[in-house]
Amino acid sequence: MDLLRSLPIGLYLDKPITWLHKLDSRVKFAWLMAFLAAPLLANAWWRLVIAGLLIVLTFAARIPVRVWRQQMGWLVFLSVLVLFLTAITPDGLSVDSVPRLPDASLTLPPVTDYQYVLVDKGKIFITRRSLDLAVRVSTLVFTLIYSTNLFLLTTAPEEITAGLEDLMSPLRRLGWPITEITLTLTLSLRFIPLVLEEVQNLGRSIQTRAIEWRKLGWKRSAKVWLTVVETLFENLLRRAEQIAVAMEVRGFTSPNEHRVQWHQLRLKTPDWIALATLIPFWVARFVLGGLE
């Protein structure tokens, strides 16, 4: 199993180049913050709208099916699982939903079909509050994970660091090492494929040995997995040391003296359009999403 292809979470999609790729990283970062902040204190309907908007955005960008199918597939499964488990758990309210007959001597408004308990099938007990909470939690999980993954999928690591360095440039006046922070972020993003590659190689080495886990027992199996984890960390530390040596050989002493500008940050017409659409987005957020 090729983890770099079957599980491309957090990896950059270099081909094909979609219109999301061409947007400025600062604009995409602003939209990412909007997707992460908009669900806060919003109702369940607005959270469903945001989740649907992310799905529509994926199709509109024409991201290959092989990429989003595997990512969205397991994420939808996780969200549905969270939805079901949260819906059947107690809602935390001690509400007695036993129906009562109205007193004939009182003038009451017409009886409605409102029911607090939606499903009562033994162990499966769903109320309006538990269902609302389930929708909130499941959509929040989907939005947080998928919006971040979509941002990483369509933005190169160098663009991310260049955009963040430009956005955090005012902090230089406070003495913050912005260049060092962005350099560390660049190396971290570049290190993700190396981690997946090492995990993939160790997994293949275990498969080729055809280990019979049932005969080993849980103690010997635990020892094997501890050895695998130890080998993984050793390989990752060795890779990190090789990167450090390569930087040292090239005369790297400080980020300020060896800066390489990979991308020229310039807002174009599509970027201004994307920024302008943030205004109606937030207007809709407060009109439709409400404050709860």
- Beta partners for residue 117, in sequence order: 127
**Residue 117's pLDDT band (cuts 50, 70, 90):** confident
Q: Which whole number is the average pLDDT over 115-132?
A: 77
Q: Is the pLDDT of residue 76 over 80?
A: yes
Hey, which of 19-23, 127-131, 219-223, 276-280 has the most confident mean pLDDT? 276-280
Question: How many CB atoms sit inside 10 A of residue 118's CB?
Answer: 12
Q: Is the pLDDT of residue 94 over 50?
A: yes
Average pLDDT, the chain: 78
**Residue 279's pLDDT band (cuts 50, 70, 90):** very high
- pTM, two decimal places: 0.70
Separation of alpha carbons 49 and 44, rounded Å: 9
pLDDT at 3: 46
Are 26 and 166 within 8 A, CB to CB?
yes
Q: Is the pLDDT of residue 61 over 60?
A: yes
Contacts of 283-290 spanning 24+ positions with Cβ under 8 A: 285/38, 285/42, 285/46, 288/45, 288/46, 288/49, 289/38, 289/42, 289/43, 289/45, 289/46, 290/42, 290/43, 290/46
pLDDT at 166: 82
Q: Which whole number is the average pLDDT over 205-217?
A: 73
Percent of the chain exceeding pLDDT 70 equals: 81
Cα of first residue to Cα of last residue in the chain, in angstroms, is 45
